[in-house]
Structure 1
């Protein structure tokens, strides 16, 4: 079994690391806040004091971090410590441009795979995420399959690119459902009747996500992902969605809450 280093034990990373432990992989973990590793250590993982120490003997390194800046900071510590023959699987949502930047920095003999995920915390805990793997993923596909079905997307960076497409559709759908419900409110319609009608149509998945209560994807992360998308090409509708989520994330009580918490804020009547 490959020795695996898992860096980033947030809402997604912690349950994903548990899947590797359950499969019997020797696992070393690191997180910026060390106490978040305690439960995994109790379950059999080893905790490293810093990213470089975590990856030094690893066959496979997995990073699941908040965004481009966090990945760049960890890369500074990790890259000098990666051994020849190792795989670095970058699973954060950072966009293809940052993946190409990392690929230029990876030392000879190390393979970088971009493999962001589709799904939220519930699927991470159940091992039912969708994995979008770009680059030469053949050597780690069996490891990625521990998290859920693997889709090979093509050249390096294509996994990160497709993840932006998927997340753009999800966030746009949630905002659209919120505004549709706001219109229903303004027209005096019964909330359950309007919600059921939307759930029975082409927006059914977006309705489910807009009213989900058992998953987590922070509003701050939504802002980050939509911003990555709108910097890539002209997306007028998503630029409006970005403004909606920026307003929600500006609230200290909502910034790290799930995107479903944005729906009541978007639905709220505008005050003057």
Structure 2
């Protein structure tokens, strides 16, 4: 019998993840800060909880997919939050991108209540979530991972495991650091070529025939070529946030990451007018910073 899952956070990735669990036959309870985002799932058979506390009390395990560590702490610690409803022995599995300190602190917070915290961030877009092809980085006690394994099997194509939640946190930040850097340099590459009269599609054909080929380069290159920055697969503001988290983690661990700082600053500048666009919209910002030379 499949566990009853409580799911909080129905954004770009969270909603298709919750929908996938429902499709795979998991009894599902949902809660979202903006209640209307749960409507389509409720129409498909999910049950709407009035509060995080109610959701935690009724679920066998809880999944959260929220914006950041502050949002996660708020949904846990509020008067009607998860901590008030999660019984001893149950698991709160957060699949968001957060900071290592929040992962460590929540591990201790729940341990003091004889409950378990697992951090299992994911890599993949909304389509991978919808199709159960996410990559899952699970950090925490073996018992907690085992309780969540049926959910992981439904959502992901592969799971990596570490003993400490903050290890999984750093793996996700390392991946997003690379993702942001690749996006920034792809945008600069296409901008340089376009200024020489070579359209993005030609560059993408060249990349596809070379060692530069990758699904990300082709997908985001097409996004740039068509200037289709909505709907976003990943908000530009979230990329800037994750780069900030990566820089903070690098400083804590003594890792020198000068290029990450430059990439972060580019996304921060682009964020002012493009926060809700896809992160590939950094290309538009680069164009604005590149006036055509005088003839």
Task: Give the TM-score range, shorter chain.
Answer: over 0.9
Q: Does 1:126 align with 2:131?
A: yes
Name the CA shift for 1:244/1:201 in 2 (closer, same or farther; >3 Å).
Answer: farther
Q: Does 1:97 align with 2:98?
A: no
Q: Which of the numbers 270, 281, 291 marks the counterpart of 1:248?
A: 270
Name the residue aligned to 1:194.
Answer: 203
CA contact (8 A) 1:222 1:259 kept: yes
Q: State how many pairs are aligned.
A: 270
CA contact (8 A) 2:100 2:249 kept: no
Structure 1 unpaired stretches of 5+: none
Name the residue aligned to 2:152.
Answer: 144
Name the residue aligned to 2:241.
Answer: 224
CA contact (8 A) 2:100 2:170 kept: yes
- SS of 1:28 mapped into structure 2: strand
- Tell me the TM-score normalised to structure 2 length: 0.86
**Distance (whole Å) between structure 2 residues aligned to residue 174 and residue 200 of structure 1:** 19
Name the residue aligned to 1:270.
Answer: 290
CA contact (8 A) 1:178 1:210 kept: no
- SS of 1:52 mapped into structure 2: helix
- SS of 1:84 mapped into structure 2: coil
Name the residue aligned to 1:239.
Answer: 261
Q: Deviations over 1:226-246 (max 9, x none)?
A: 000111223111111111111
Quote how far apart the aligned CAs of 1:271 are.
4.4
**Distance (whole Å) between structure 2 residues aligned to residue 38 and residue 238 of structure 1:** 39
**Distance (whole Å) between structure 1 residues aligned to residue 26 and residue 159 of structure 2:** 22
Q: Does 1:115 align with 2:120?
A: yes
CA contact (8 A) 2:3 2:60 kept: yes
CA contact (8 A) 1:175 1:241 kept: yes
- SS of 1:93 mapped into structure 2: coil
- SS of 1:99 mapped into structure 2: helix
Q: Does 1:3 align with 2:13?
A: no
Structure 2 unpaired stretches of 5+: 251-255
**Distance (whole Å) between structure 1 residues aligned to residue 21 and residue 203 of structure 2:** 42
Query: Which protein is richer in helix relative to its size?
Result: 2
How well do the aligned residues superpose, as a CA RMSD in angstroms? 1.9
- SS of 1:72 mapped into structure 2: helix
Name the residue aligned to 1:27.
Answer: 28
Q: Deviations over 1:184-208 (max 9, x none)?
A: 1233334322232234344433422
**Distance (whole Å) between structure 2 residues aligned to residue 221 and residue 203 of structure 1:** 26
Name the CA shift for 1:209/1:68 in 2 (closer, same or farther; >3 Å).
Answer: farther
Name the residue aligned to 1:208.
Answer: 218
**Distance (whole Å) between structure 1 residues aligned to residue 180 and residue 208 of structure 2:** 16
- SS of 2:156 mapped into structure 1: coil
Larger deviation, residues 40-49 vs 187-196: 187-196
Q: Deviations over 1:218-272 (max 9, x none)?
A: 0010011000011122311111111111111111xx2111112222322445249
- SS of 1:162 mapped into structure 2: helix
Quote how far apart the aligned CAs of 1:209 are.
4.2
Name the residue aligned to 1:180.
Answer: 189
CA contact (8 A) 2:232 2:279 kept: no
Q: Deviations over 1:40-83 (max 9, x none)?
A: 11111111122111111211100000111101101102112101
